[in-house]
Structure 1
Amino acid sequence: MTNDVRNALAALATIAEPWQPHRLASINDYDLKVVKLEGEFVWHSHPETDELFLVLSGELTIQLRDRDVVLGPNDVFVIPKGVEHCPKADGPVQALLFEPQGTVNTGDVGGDRTQQVRELTA
């Protein structure tokens, strides 16, 4: 990771597929990731860490077991550690995630949607 200025929207333009987080920057032991979201993900939790979503464009629904949280552009929501959730986007969404390095996107459930964080090529 370089110390260069990074542009989140330019980085998002290089991502071809949804649900594949890419590291934009790191600070201390945390990663700031850019990701495109579309469709429904998997129900999961992160037993050891909170997870922050910042929607840049589109509308994202974070399904929780007791309610749905709807986020639009510039909305931030923190999912507390251990809380089961399932992100869902009926249309294209661009977002930033802030979470500890090494956090797996599918949390405690794994499966074929699990992606290791990728490095941006541009």
Structure 2
Amino acid sequence: MKSINLQDKLGQFSAHWEPQVIADYNQNDVMVVKFIGEYPFHKHETTDDFFLVLEGEMIMDIEGEPSKTVKAGELFVVPKGVVHRPRAEQEVKVLLIEPKGEPNSGDSDRPPATKPRL
């Protein structure tokens, strides 16, 4: 048991769209990620998708709905089975929580990230 400094962890990498595992929570990976641009539309059939914006601003595109802007200090949960795409016009820093082994790419053609541990 120890505290984890999110800014310290975010300072240890520069790659975009490559989540880094920083902690374990039950059967979930707690991760930090940086991204800019857009990820492909995808869905997760069996799990919700959790995003907590730490710094910057994220836009969540949801199939068939208006885009949602998520600002620093706000979280957004995409229910399982919902087609979505996170994107950002400028770099955004986000905390993610996903079940261990869940590919971040969902059902898209993009290869899933390796999710290294910091």
Structure 2 length normalisation: TM-score? 0.94
1:14 to 2:12 alignment: yes
Q: Distance in 2 between matches of 1:28 and 1:43?
A: 28
Q: What whole-Å deviation, never above 9, does each CA across 1:74-108 have from its counterpart, x for those lacking one?
A: 00110000101011100010010011111111111
Over the matched positions of the two proteins, sequence identity in percent amounts to 35
Instruction: Look up the match of 1:119.
Output: 117
Contact persistence 2:40–2:110 (CA under 8 A): no
Gap regions ≥5 residues in structure 2? none
Gaps of 5+ in 1: none
Letter in 1 for 2:36: E
Q: Residue 100 of structure 2 aligns to which amino acid in structure 1?
A: Q
State the match for 2:32 in structure 1: 34
Q: What secondary structure, in the 3-state scheme, does the structure 2 residue paired with 1:118 have?
A: coil
- Distance of 1:101 and 1:75 partners within structure 2: 23
Runs of 4 or more off by more than 2 Å in structure 1? none
2:46 and 2:109 mapped to 1: Cα distance? Answer: 15
| Counterpart-to-counterpart distance in 2, 1:110 and 1:117 | 17
In the alignment, the residues of structure 1 paired with residue 62 and residue 113 of structure 2 have an alpha-carbon distance, to the nearest angstrom, of: 22
